[in-house]
Amino acid sequence: MMPRAIYNEEQKMFAQSVREFVAKEVVPYNAAWEKKQMVSRESWLKFGEAGFLCMQVGEQYGGLGVKDFRYNAIVIEEIALTGCAGPAVGYPLHSDIVCPYIEHYGTETAKQKYLPKMVTGEMIAAIAMTEPGAGSDLQNIRATAVDKGDYYLVNGSKTFITNGYLCDLAVVAVKTDPTKGAKGTSLLVIDTSMKGFSKGKPFEKAGLHAQDTCELFFENVEVPKENLLGKEGEGFKYMMTELSQERLVVALGAIAAAEGILATTVQYTKDRSAFGKPISELQNTRFKLAEMATEITIGRTFADRCVELHTEKKLDQATASMAKYWLTDLQTKVADECLQLHGGYGYIWEYQVARAWADARVQRIYAGTNEIMKELIARNVLK
């Protein structure tokens, strides 16, 4: 990642350390992780030991207490730049999407139990919102949590869960009062020590082959009351609050992935010859590269501004939705154009561009589909 104006000297040095770590501890292992359909637990522990997991967690829970989101953005982007999409999704989800729910709404008991091990990578976290019949429409989830006095009795299932197969804990959206719609939704932390919590096998997906996405099942799981996040019935409000950061995380991964695959493609066009000269000298190639470089520069400027706004706690839901929708659309477009410039080799899995193309497509679906993003943006435009 090129040094940019939003980063100070200390952050630029931090970026270099993350880049070196990822080059040593992620890139060489990614192909093996793709075959196993998951990142190794050893890698999670190495990330924790390096201090790159849940950096914002307070020192009283074993974290570094880093409150400047720009450090989190650096980790997200440095992994995504390499094209190792499984790790690029899994680690930020753990640190920047799941962890804040426990930080912001968890009881002291839950914080002490889970945060220290999330910081070290001993416990891997997932977030379980999506169900077979409820994706972007989170108000219609069916998983239930019945109040039994000292605990909630949870039943239901979740699907398409990132980090699902390896997870040791999940923040789970449930209905504590099915008659109240969104106002009957609550959030619970459920861990694998609780009887009745089981997992399906990782899905064989079109992309993200190193990501252990799977189904989660809850059959009469007894969840202690101290594992309720915030107040009962306010889970939907908490999700709407935290989703702005989730969408920014996806957007940052998208723009970095686009930058990474463009750089790879530029080098390929210099090395590959056709009609007696490098294809980088063909006008169509040059125009395509110029178009992508321009759009990525526009996207990068917007992404950096969103990071600045979020660091200042000024990033609103509509702007985060704009970033998620536009930058993931751009990522998909760039991956497709880059594959075309590779010709037949672009469709061969050993080439990074094939992975980039396959991995990009889902970005427009999770964290709320891009169609839902447009609806959220439109509400803001029309209010």
Domain closes at, from 166, 198, 231: 231
287, with CB counted inside 10 A (0-12, 13-18, 19+), is exposed
The answer to whether residues 169 and 302 belong to one domain is no
User: Residue 322's pLDDT band (boundaries 50, 70, 90)?
Assistant: very high
Domain closes at, from 216, 231, 246: 231
Domain closes at, from 214, 231, 248: 231
User: Smallest Cα–Cα separation from 53: which of 20, 27, 79?
Assistant: 79
Report how far residue 124's alpha carbon sits from residue 115's, in angstroms, rounded to the nearest whole number.
10
Residue 288 has pLDDT above 50, yes or no: yes
User: Residue 152's pLDDT band (boundaries 50, 70, 90)?
Assistant: very high
382, with CB counted inside 10 A (0-12, 13-18, 19+), is exposed
- Give pLDDT, residue 108: 98
User: Smallest Cα–Cα separation from 163: which of 258, 88, 260, 107?
Assistant: 88
Residue 351 phi, psi dihedral angles, 5° rounding: -85, 135
The answer to whether residues 183 and 214 belong to one domain is yes
- Give pLDDT, residue 134: 67
Instruction: Give percent of the chain with pLDDT exceeding 70.
Output: 98
> Whole-angstrom distance between the N-terminal and C-terminal Cα of the chain?
38
- Of the CA atoms within 13 Å of residue 306, those in its CB half-sphere come to 28
CATH number, domain with residue 189: 2.40.110.10
Report how far residue 366's alpha carbon sits from residue 250's, in angstroms, rounded to the nearest whole number.
9
Domain, as residue range, for 62: 9-123
Residue 133 has pLDDT above 80, yes or no: no
| Cβ-contact 163, 94 below 8 angstroms | yes
Is residue 222 annotated as part of the catalytic site, yes or no? Answer: no
Query: CA 8: distance to chain centroid?
Result: 25
The answer to whether residues 96 and 132 belong to one domain is no
Instruction: Name the active-site residue from 34, 78, 246, 259.
Output: 246
The answer to whether residues 212 and 80 belong to one domain is no
Mean pLDDT in residue range 8-18 = 96
Report how far residue 295's alpha carbon sits from residue 299's, in angstroms, rounded to the nearest whole number.
6
- Give pLDDT, residue 137: 65
Q: Specify the amino acid at residue 336.
A: D
336 in a structural domain: yes
